[in-house]
Amino acid sequence: MSLIVQKYGGSSVADLDLIRGVARRSIAAKNEGHKVVVVLSAMKGETDRLIRLAKAASEDPDPRELDSLLSTGEQTSIALFALTCQSLGEKVKSFLGFQAGIATEGPHGKARIASIDPARIQTELAKGRMAVVAGFQGIGRGGDLTTLGRGGSDTTAVALAVALGADVCEIYTDVDGIYTTDPNVCSDARRMDRISYEEMLELASLGAKVMEIRSVELAMNYDLPIHVRHAHDPRDGTLICREDPSMEKTPVRGVTHSMNEARITLVRVRDEPGVAARILQVAAKAEIVVDVIVQNKSVGDGGLCTDLSFTVPAGEYSRTMALMSELTSELNAEAVVGDDQIAKVSIVGVGMRNHAGVAAKMFQALASEGINITMITTSEIKISCIIEKKYAELAVRALHDAFELARPPSGE
């Protein structure tokens, strides 16, 4: 017998028929002898509808009131789930964030879970009953309702699973697992049976939208396996778990791309200490997240100057260009040039640590398709290249092919 926390996203509980489907699934798991706790998001579209309503009431909605308003979304879905279970003959109680003992800290709209006292949930489990808990919400120190921000239901599920000492946290969604790359871009994309926390973190932050980063980090910290699976498909999905030797046999495990990038270059700034820091300082103050940074020494001027390039989210492009233009005279830069027609393609794999020649193979694969690389950045288990946007999909397919990701590795 295992203790399982199941989380269903908004598209899995979008109407009463879908709710009945997932209720049957949860009850089936319980009937197999498991202890089951269910965490739900709001019904699909409900959170957006509430945000529209709030914005119609106030141009700049107060975060405290918005949190209280948005909390009704999960309050509704868990009550309907409990009622549906009862109509199927199963006794289930629903618990709001505060009733499930989920205490938060930090600002409204992006609160963090500070602690969980799952006493009431444990009481239900001890009685042999299922419990359904509202995702995304908790209660702050002052007794106000808080929300964890978008994707927060994943965090609720993982944190609750940790607090309850669950064996696994199952994340039910509208895809059947984590793929070697985006199946919309590459028809050869293959669902992975297992992926390490570290790989998932790199994939998540690079644009694979299946799992929210915070919840993967939390699961990693407590060594809690996460099983990502399709809400309406009984087959196993992908297990996000601790790295194991079989994973390391393959140098590259996934390819991702992001179109949401823009590059800005300060041309021929003085090559002296503090320049890069100054640029990042200005960006940080404006709350602009700088991703890849590359500094190129300009040749032919005695090494006094350098070109400094960095990327920002495409949505921050014009704002960053304006800020950097203000800096040109201060930094004695010759010009500020920008490009929002870029993309980032990345390869990820824990096996990279002990396989040589991975980068060379990546560059070769891109070069053989005539794709020019303008920036490169690497981490221990990832290599990213900035390329022209129009080549993004071609690059993904070329890399997926070059590293033979369509073929299941021997370990799986």
The residue ranges that bind a copy of itself (CB under 8 A) are 16, 19, 50, 53-54, 56-59, 61-62, 64-66, 68-69, 71-72, 75-76, 78-80, 82-84, 86-87, 93-94, 96, 99, 120, 143-145
The CB-of-323 to a copy of itself minimum distance in angstroms stands at 31
114 dihedral zone (left: phi>0; alpha: psi -120 to 50; beta): alpha
Q: How far apart are CA 306 and CA 380, in angstroms?
A: 27
If one counts every other C-beta atom within 10 angstroms of the C-beta of residue 319, the result is 14
| Rg of the chain on CA atoms, in Å | 24
DSSP summary character for residue 409: P
The CB-of-364 to a copy of itself minimum distance in angstroms stands at 57
Residue (95 or 179) nearer to a copy of itself, CB: 95
Helix/strand/coil for 239: strand
Residue (149 or 207) nearer to a copy of itself, CB: 149
Residue (126 or 356) nearer to a copy of itself, CB: 126
Cβ-in-10-Å burial (0-12, 13-18, 19+) of 133 comes to: buried
Helix/strand/coil for 38: strand
Contact 7, 169 (CB under 8 A): yes
The CB-of-37 to a copy of itself minimum distance in angstroms stands at 17
Residue (53 or 114) nearer to a copy of itself, CB: 53
The CB-of-85 to a copy of itself minimum distance in angstroms stands at 9
Residue (79 or 314) nearer to a copy of itself, CB: 79
Q: How far apart are CA 295 and CA 42, in angstroms?
A: 45
The CB-of-55 to a copy of itself minimum distance in angstroms stands at 9
Q: Which of 51, 54, 45 has its CA nearest to residue 18? A: 45
The CB-of-16 to a copy of itself minimum distance in angstroms stands at 6
Residue (79 or 259) nearer to a copy of itself, CB: 79
